[in-house]
Amino acid sequence: MVLKLEDIRLSFDGFCVLDNLSLHVKAGEFVCLLGPSGCGKTSTLRVCAGLESPLSGRVMLGDKIVTDGTKVLPPEKRHIGFLFQDFALFPHLNIFQNVAFGLKGYSKPETERRVLEVLKQVRMDKYAHALPHTLSGGQQQRVALARALAPKPGIMLLDEPFSGLDSGLRADIRDETLHVLKSTNVAAVMVTHDPEEAMFMADRIVLMKGGSIIQDGAPHELYTNPIDHFAASFFGEINIIKGVIKESTAQTILGSVPVSGFNEGEIVDVLIRPENVIVRPRNDVDQHFHTTKIEAARYLGRDSLLHLCVEDETGACTHLHARIDSQLKPIVDQNIVATMDPARAFVFRAC
Ligand SMILES: Nc1ncnc2c1ncn2[C@@H]1O[C@H](COP(=O)(O)OP(=O)(O)OP(=O)(O)O)[C@@H](O)[C@H]1O
């Protein structure tokens, strides 16, 4: 393991911010800390960096203990690379000097070789003599990445590094950052509150809430096998409908889902992603399906969003969202049949 956090407890003014948090990161692994604002992502990163003293717990970098309770090795002695939202380049130093700044104990020729090597890696070697203010935001972020990587850190810590960039540039820079980090095989821990960004970047996502880790796994595990309502709904909009347990299935207005561990007759929540609501035109043999109408259809580019009204036996309408291929042309008011793939639905105790 490159990084180990064990049972970290951190509080500010008596308010618990990290509650016995443990996290292990392997060599070359890209881990994203994901969660809503205030859940403790940045605090976790700051504990890794040595910028916070936890009440208890331990941090190890490789086999070295760098935080043991309140004994904290300072950040500059940890051999860690940092990349933050504000690039924090020194305005009076040119790009070469900015990157060379963190290289301690290198001879002059070694410094020159290493600086040009990392600038080349981020495609900024042509700008070695430029001053930071003459570069675009994306170029400055690439220089900041080169500066962080120059001393060959054991691990990189990234705190929302792309959030200051506009959306087109952000996509390019995060793609490039991922490839550069992967090519150097450095382990990385990145904070983000954007689930799409986490899925794009991460080998592993650590989902946090209220100072604790809720779920930890590969992006597809969190998306396809969420542990609870919060984890399921964090990765985008989700339909929540009621189900009744009958003979080991949750029976819903969109069909039944096989389950175990619930009591007969129990009311449960069934969570269905809009892309898992399947619609087709109603025909004569469909009497046993609930009456469903398309109330509105919105073209979103790659897919279309349908607002559906599914009527139950009493005529009450359940409003659901479905995402379908935008090539299909839905007709508003059309009578349809709505079902789902039960293997992609999530059943939880009603809350
Ligand atoms: N220096 C501090 N003093 C007091 N409270 C703090 C301090 N730093 C963080 N907190 C509090 O700790 C909690 C966790 O903050 P943290 O910045 O780690 O959350 P976060 O998940 O990174 O949020 P965001 O996505 O908004 O940055 C918040 O309630 C925050 O107000």
Summarize pLDDT for 128-158 with one digit per residue, the tens.
Answer: 999 999 998 889 989 999 999 999 998 999 9
Say yes or no: CB of residue 330 within 6 Å of ligand 1.
Answer: no
Cα torsion angle, 186, 189, 194, 198, sign: positive
Say yes or no: CB of residue 46 within 6 Å of ligand 1.
Answer: no
What pLDDT does 281 receive? 87
Q: What is the largest CA-CA distance in the chain?
A: 82
Tell me how far the alpha carbon of residue 40 lies from the centroid of ligand 1, in angstroms: 6
Q: Whose CA is nearest to atom 5 of ligand 1?
A: 12
Cα–Cα distance for residue pair 300/321, rounded to 1 Å:
13
Alpha helices by DSSP H, listed for the chain, are 41-49, 95-100, 108-121, 137-149, 167-184, 195-201, 219-224, 229-234
- List, in sequence order, every residue forming a beta bridge with 318; answer none if it has no partner: 310
Mean pLDDT of the chain: 92
- Please name the residues in contact with 244: beta carbons below 8 A apart, sequence gap of 6 or more: 250, 251, 265, 266, 267, 268
- Which of 12, 21, 160, 189 has the most ligand 1 atoms within 8 A of CB, as the residue to mutate? 12
What pLDDT does 173 receive? 87
Tell me how far the alpha carbon of residue 193 lies from the centroid of ligand 1, in angstroms: 13
Tell me how far the alpha carbon of residue 303 lies from the centroid of ligand 1, in angstroms: 37
Say yes or no: CB of residue 274 within 6 Å of ligand 1.
Answer: no
Report the chain (351 residues): mean pLDDT per 10 consecutive residues. Answer: 95 94 96 96 95 95 91 90 84 95 89 95 94 92 93 94 83 90 93 95 97 97 96 95 96 96 96 95 84 90 92 90 84 85 96 82
Say yes or no: CB of residue 14 within 6 Å of ligand 1.
Answer: no
Domains and CATH numbers, the chain: 3-233 (3.40.50.300), 237-349 (2.40.50.140)
Cα torsion angle, 67, 71, 76, 77, sign: negative
User: CA torsion, points 206, 258, 289, 227, in degrees to nearest 10?
Assistant: -10
Question: What's phi and psi for 101, nearest 5 deg?
Answer: -55, -40
- Please name the residues in contact with 254: beta carbons below 8 A apart, sequence gap of 6 or more: 241, 272, 277, 310, 320, 338, 339, 340
* H or E element in which residue 58 lies: strand 56-61
Tell me how far the alpha carbon of residue 11 lies from the centroid of ligand 1, in angstroms: 10
Tell me how far the alpha carbon of residue 28 lies from the centroid of ligand 1, in angstroms: 28
Tell me how far the alpha carbon of residue 47 lies from the centroid of ligand 1, in angstroms: 12
Say yes or no: CB of residue 255 within 6 Å of ligand 1.
Answer: no
Cα torsion angle, 163, 182, 201, 62, sign: negative
What pLDDT does 87 receive? 67
- Which of 42, 160, 191 has the most ligand 1 atoms within 8 A of CB, as the residue to mutate? 42
Say yes or no: CB of residue 209 within 6 Å of ligand 1.
Answer: no
Cβ atoms 243, 235 nearer than 8 A: no
| Placement of tokens 């001393």 in the chain | 151
- Please name the residues in contact with 35: beta carbons below 8 A apart, sequence gap of 6 or more: 41, 193, 207, 208, 209, 214, 234
What pLDDT does 315 receive? 85
Q: Considering the entire predicted model, what is its pTM?
A: 0.91
Tell me how far the alpha carbon of residue 54 lies from the centroid of ligand 1, in angstroms: 14
Cα–Cα distance for residue pair 134/328, rounded to 1 Å:
48
What pLDDT does 157 receive? 96
Cα–Cα distance for residue pair 235/216, rounded to 1 Å:
14
Q: How many residues does the chain have?
A: 351
- Which of 41, 46, 212 has the most ligand 1 atoms within 8 A of CB, as the residue to mutate? 41
User: CA torsion, points 339, 341, 344, 346, in degrees to nearest 10?
Assistant: 50
